[in-house]
Amino acid sequence: MISQKVQDAINKQINNELSASYTYLAMSAYCEHENFTGCAKWLRLQSQEEYGHAMRLFDFLLARDGKIALRAISEPNIKFKSLSHVFETALEQEQSTTAEIDQIYELAHNEKAFAALVEMQWFITEQVEEEKTAREIVAKRKPDAAWKAELPKTPDHRDHRTYANLPDSLAPGLYLVVASVREDFREEDNKVVGVGVIVG
Residues at the site binding Fe ion, with contacts judged by CB under 5 A: 17, 50, 53, 130
Q: Which is nearer to Fe ion, 110 or 125 (CB)?
A: 125
Q: Which helix (H) or strand (E) holds 195?
A: strand 193-199
Strand partners, 194: 178
> How many angstroms separate the CA atoms of 67 and 87, rounded?
35
Vertex 24 angle, CA 102 and 129, to 5°: 45
| Least distance (Å) between residue 61 CB and Fe ion | 16
| Least distance (Å) between residue 37 CB and Fe ion | 22
Q: Which is nearer to Fe ion, 119 or 130 (CB)?
A: 130
Please, which residues have CB within 8 angstroms of residue 100's CB and are 6 or more apart in sequence?
Answer: 12, 13, 16
Q: What are the angstrom distances between the C-alpha of 61 and each of 11, 37, 104, 115, 124? A: 8, 36, 13, 10, 18
| Least distance (Å) between residue 63 CB and Fe ion | 19
Q: Which residue is nearest to Fe ion (CB)?
A: 53
Q: Which is nearer to Fe ion, 45 or 197 (CB)?
A: 45
> How many angstroms separate the CA atoms of 128 and 125, rounded?
5
Q: Which is nearer to Fe ion, 44 or 186 (CB)?
A: 44
What is the DSSP-derived secondary structure letter of residue 174? E
Q: Which is nearer to Fe ion, 88 or 130 (CB)?
A: 130
Please, which residues have CB within 8 angstroms of residue 6's CB and are 6 or more apart in sequence?
Answer: 104, 107, 108, 111, 113, 116
Amino acid at 97: T
| Least distance (Å) between residue 154 CB and Fe ion | 49
Q: Which is nearer to Fe ion, 4 or 121 (CB)?
A: 121
| Least distance (Å) between residue 70 CB and Fe ion | 17
| Least distance (Å) between residue 195 CB and Fe ion | 39
